[in-house]
Structure 1
Amino acid sequence: MKIKSFLAKPFASYVHKSIQRSMATALEDQNAILKELIKTAKATEFGKEHRFDAITSYQEFKQAVPIRDYEQYKPYIQKLKEGKHNILWRGKPIYFAKTSGTTSGVKYIPITKESIPNHINSARNALLCYMSESGNTSFADEKMIFLSGSPELERIADIPTGRLSGIVNHHIPNYLRTNQLPTYETNCIEDWETKLNKIVDETINMDMSLISGIPPWVQMYFDRLIERSGKKVGDLFPNFQVLVHGGVNFQPYKAKLLESIGRNVATIETFPASEGFFAFQDTQKEEGLLLNTNSGIFFEFIPTAEIFNENPTRLSLHDVKVGENYALIINSNAGLWSYNIGDTVKFVSTNPYRLVVSGRIKHFISAFGEHVIGEEVEFSLMKAVRENNVHITEFTVAPMIQQGEGKSYHEWFIEFEKSPVDLAKFAKQVDDNLRSKNIYYDDLITGNILQPLKITIVKKNGFIDYMKSIGKLGGQNKVPRLSNDRKLAEELRPWTENH
């Protein structure tokens, strides 16, 4: 056994036990975090505006601090970008995480001295839990690759600014630096395809043990490796043991990724965002991701049906229920207060608190009152995929609104890796699955308001070519699962088979 894997065993066991102990104190930890956040931020501009000095309970906090999204935070962020101190949190941020918003353009999310450990330690803890549970630490001695954004940072008001993955790259411990690929120079390449080719050059002859990234971009890496070597990834890298993924639901990509590898490997799911690292898979034996209840973030939850209400119900962890869909709201030591991050989650357990990411608030279709969400379309498609031995590369759904009763429908744009034998039968199965999941959609079909869904086939690499055409290939960029209008559908049209 080599030195890193040898030392990892006791450390992994220590951290894993600590995380297991914190499962029992989740509610107390959340209460303590809210009190500490309010106490620390009392003297900030935000704290003074919202009378933090008078808040003594969560009920009072809810009355004092409304739910906001990034657009409503922009005036505060602007002051930080001008170099002002003590605005949302004491002092000033040590970083801005720069991210693309679907409605806000570029967003600048503050990261503080107090919040950076949440981003660094949570990813580490996910690996340590796996090591402790499985006993497998050998991959710690071998080569690892983290498909991430450029670590080169610009400065705004003398605050280093860049992609979250690039910021985190600067905090990888020295003992892992010798294992890490690609090289710093390659990681700094902005153009994704140029960068990908260079990554393949650097790794194709290395026996990678761990690969980490957003599933669609990991798949592109795998495709390029297979194309170059003529081998499955698992044969090319005999020591490949662990795939770490996050950013999107894994299920639509899982079959193709595992087929590209050619054998099973351990998979570890994470739930990171520029605003915080919210949850991670702590065990291979149970469903869901363990909520990060003791990492500087106080969580709130709003039933998704109420998210657009003027005064929605706001719940702390005390009151959440298994199986309900909630919009995730955070309060953090980065200075984000009752901040709507745009994701929806569903608890699969409350002892301990484990959840799954069920979709995005703004990614839904309700052109006819059906309110179809991401979780429902993914379930409907993947059930049909499994039953028909079909593999998909990517997909998105949009409404097609046409005049006249029974003429409108949902249009599904799907890129198949392995197509169904009978597309019409496959489409009907997906439609039936969706009808079983969403009663409003079923009523619209039954009432002849909507036709059953129609599938438009996207050409091979069509989604990649589309993302390239809009300058969003690689990095942290993702194709929206659902749109409530035709903008994405029409932009995608040139890459469809019948165009």
Structure 2
Amino acid sequence: MKFKSFLAKPFAAYVVKQVKKSMQNAVPDQEAIFRDLLKTGANTQFGRDHHFDSVKTPEEYRQAVPLRDYEGFRPYIDMIKEGKHNILWKGVPMYFAKTSGTTSGIKYIPISKESMPNHFNSGRNAVFCNMAEIGSSNIFDGKMIFLSGSPELERIGGIPTGRLSGIVNHQIPSYLRTNQLPSYETNCIDDWETKLDRIVEETINRNMTLISGIPPWMQMYFDRLIERSGKKVGELFPDFSVLVHGGVNFEPYKAKLFESIGRKIAAIETYPASEGFFAFQDSQEAEGLLLNTNSGIYFEFVPAEEIFLPNPKRIGLQDVKVGQNYAIIINSNAGLWSYNIGDTVKFVSTDPYRIVVSGRIKHFISAFGEHVIGEEVEYSLMKAATEAGVHITEFTVAPMISQDKGKSYHEWLIEFDNRPEDISAFAEQVNANLRKKNIYYDDLITGNILLPLRITPVRKNGFIDYMKSIGKLGGQNKVPRLSNDRALADALTPWKEEF
């Protein structure tokens, strides 16, 4: 055992102890964070605009501060970009995390000195908690990789600005720098395929022990490794023992990723975003992700069905219920106040508080009143795929709207790793699964308002080629699972297959 692995064991024990303490004190910790945020926020422009000095309770706060998305924060962000201080948080942000929004264009999310530990330590805690559970610390004996965006930063209003993954890259402590791959120069390459080839060159003959990234881009990396070496990834890297993933639901990619590895290894799920690191998998045995209740973020939750109402119900952690879909709202020590990040979550446990990410508020299909969400779509497809022994590479769903009654349907555009022998029968099974999962969809089928769903195969690498065509290949870019219009489905026309 090398020196770093030897030291990692007692540090992992320390991390586990701190995480368990946070589990037990989740509600008091949230109350303390709420008070601390208000105290600092009272001396900001936002705090003065919303009378923080007279707010004492969460109920008063909810009356004073309405829910906002990025557009609601844009005037304050613009003031920060103009060089003004003490706008959303004390001083100016340490960084801007630059991210793309579907309606807001480029977004500039503030990261403060106080919020930076949330972004870095949460991922660290996830690894150490799982490492302590499985009893292995040898990941520190080899090389680690995070398939991320470029670490190169520009300056906006004098503030260093870039992709979150690139920003976090600058915060990696010196003792881990020697474990990190790829090289800084390779990480700075913009073209994803060129970058991927360089990553393969730099890693194919190294002792890789931990690999992290968004599942579809990890799969591309694995495919290139197998193509170059003729070996499964687990054979190529005998000490590869931890896969860290996040950004999208793991289930559609899980089977193919493990098939590419060739053996079972620990998989750790994380829930990071530019706005904060919200939850992480702390155990290989427990369901769901542990909510980050003691990391500078005060959480509010809105029942998902109320999120678009003028005055939706907003509750704190102590009032959430297992099984209910909530829009997750954050208040952070980066200066985000009652910020709607656009995700929905469902609690699978309240002792401790563990969640699963159930979808995106804007990513649903309700062109006919069916209210189908991502969680239902993914369950229906993956259940059918598992039973049929089929592996899914990527997919998206869109409505096909007809003016004639009983002629409309959902089109599922799916790229199969191995296509079902009978796609029509496979579609029938997916349709049956969705009908059981969503009563509104079932009613529309029963009432002959909708035809059963139809599957359109997408040719191999079709989604990759589409993402390349719009300049969004690699990094943190993701294919939307659900749409209420035909924009994405029609854009994929050149890559569709007939069957």
Q: TM-score, normalized by length of structure 1?
A: 0.99
Q: Please state how far the C-alpha of 1:371 moved relative to its aligned partner.
A: 0.7
1:314 equivalent in structure 2: 314
* CA deviation profile, 1:288-309 (whole Å, cap 9, x unmatched): 0000000000001111111111
Partner of 2:28: helix, strand, or coil? helix
Match of residue 71 from structure 2: 71
Match of 2:96 in 1: 96
Q: CA deviation at 1:218?
A: 0.3
Q: What is the distance in 2 between the residues matched to 1:123 and 1:383? A: 30
Partner residue in 2 for 1:389: 389
Q: CA-to-partner distance for each residue in 1:401-420, whole Å, 9 max, x for gaps?
A: 01111000000000000111
Per the alignment, in what secondary structure is the counterpart of residue 270 of structure 1?
A: strand
Aligned position for 1:444: 444
Deviation at residue 241 of structure 1 after TM alignment: 0.5
Q: Does 1:127 align with 2:118?
A: no
Residue-by-residue CA offset, 1:68-100 (whole Å, 9 max, x unaligned): 000111111111111111111110001000011
Q: Which amino acid aligns with 1:332?
A: S
Cα distance in 2, alignment partners of residues 431 and 2 from structure 1: 53
Q: Deviations over 1:400-441 (max 9, x none)?
A: 001111000000000000111111110000000000000000
Q: Which amino acid aligns with 1:316?
A: G
For 1:203, the equivalent position in structure 2 comes to 203
Where has structure 1 moved over 6 Å in runs of 4 or more? none
Counterpart residue number, 1:189: 189
* Secondary structure of the structure 2 residue equivalent to 1:405: coil
For 2:58, the equivalent position in structure 1 comes to 58
Question: Structure 1 residue 480: deviation in Å?
Answer: 0.3
The residue matched to 1:418 in structure 2 has which SS?
A: coil
**One-letter amino acid of the structure 1 residue matched with residue 251 of structure 2:** Q
1:165 maps to 165
Q: Residue 14 of structure 1 corresponds to which residue in structure 2?
A: 14
Q: Does 1:379 align with 2:379?
A: yes
Shift of the alpha carbon at 1:498? 3.1
Alignment of 1:419-430 (within 5 A): 419-430=419-430
Structure 1 partner of 2:140: 140
Q: What percent identity do the matched residue pairs reach?
A: 75
Q: Which residue of 2 aligns with 1:345?
A: 345
Residue 131 of structure 1, CA deviation: 1.7
Deviation string for 1:200-220 (max 9, x for gaps)? Answer: 010011121100000000000
User: How many matched pairs?
Assistant: 499
**2:453 equivalent in structure 1:** 453
Q: Distance in 1 between matches of 2:40 and 2:370?
A: 44
SS of match in other structure, 1:489? helix
1:105-164 residue CA offsets vs partner (Å, 9 max, x unmatched): 111000001100100100110011012212210111211111111000000111000000
With the length of structure 2 as denominator, give the TM-score of the two structures: 0.99
- 1:108 match: 108
Task: For 1:75 and 1:487, locate their aligned partners in 2 and report how far apart those are by CA, in whole Å.
Answer: 30
> Which AA in structure 2 matches 1:199?
I
Post-superposition Cα deviations, 1:250-275, rounded to whole Å, max 9, x if no partner, equal 00000000000011110000000000
Q: Tell me the distance in 2 between the aligned counterparts of 1:420 and 1:323.
A: 33
CA distance in 1, matches of 2:142, 2:438: 47
- Report the AA paired with residue 193 of structure 2: E
Matches within 5 A, 1:237-386: 237-386=237-386
Write the distance in 2 (CA, Å) between the matches of 1:459 and 1:123: 35
Tell me how far apart the structure 2 counterparts of residues 151 and 59 of structure 1 sit (CA, whole Å): 41
Aligned to 1:30: 30
What is the distance in 2 between the residues matched to 1:384 and 1:371? 21
| Alignment of 1:489 onto 2:489 | yes
C-alpha separation in 2, matches of 1:148 and 1:423:
36
Distance 1:455 1:385 in 2: 13
Residue 339 of structure 1 aligns to which amino acid in structure 2?
Y
Separation (CA, whole Å) in 2 of partners of 1:410 and 1:292: 37
Could you say what secondary structure the match of 1:358 adopts? strand
Question: In 2, distance between residues paired with 1:223 and 1:119?
Answer: 29
Distance 2:488 2:192 in 1: 21
Q: Which amino acid aligns with 1:371?
A: H
For residue 383 of structure 1, report the CA deviation from its aligned partner: 0.4
Matched, 1:118 2:125: no
How far residue 473 of structure 1 moved from its aligned partner, in angstroms, is 0.3
RMSD in angstroms over aligned alpha carbons? 0.8
- SS for the counterpart of 1:445 is helix
1:192 Cα shift? 0.5
1:151-180 deviation per Cα after TM superposition (whole angstroms, max 9, x unaligned)? 000001110000000000001111111011
Distance 1:268 1:187 in 2: 23
Give deviations 1:25-65, integer Å, cap 9, x for gaps: 10000011011100111011100000000001000000000
Structure 2 residue 469 is the aligned partner of structure 1 residue 469: yes
